[in-house]
């Protein structure tokens, strides 16, 4: 395998890992920030608002 191809493959794999990490991290942050408001609104709001 040529050196350039190896470097490219490593770069792609690192970018893919970083991209997945970023997506999962943002999803986690969004779910955590939405969780308290969701539970409180469910507790406070009557069922016909859901």
Name 11's Cβ contacts closer than 8 Å, sequence gap at least 6: none
Per-residue pLDDT of the chain (50 residues; tens, 9 = 90+): 689 999 999 999 999 999 999 999 888 888 877 776 656 555 555 555 44
The pLDDT of residue 35 is 72
Structural contact between residues 42 and 50, judged by C-beta atoms closer than 8 angstroms: yes
Q: What is the pLDDT of residue 16?
A: 93
Cα distance between residue 45 and residue 50, in whole Å: 8
pLDDT at position 18, please? Answer: 94
pLDDT of residue 48: 56
């Amino acid at each position: 395998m040529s050196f350039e191809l190896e470097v490219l493959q490593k770069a792609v794999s690192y970018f893919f890992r970083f991209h997945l990490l970023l997506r999962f991290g943002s999803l986690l942050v969004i779910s955590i920030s939405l969780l308290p408001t969701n539970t409180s609104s469910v507790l406070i709001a009557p069922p016909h608002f859901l």
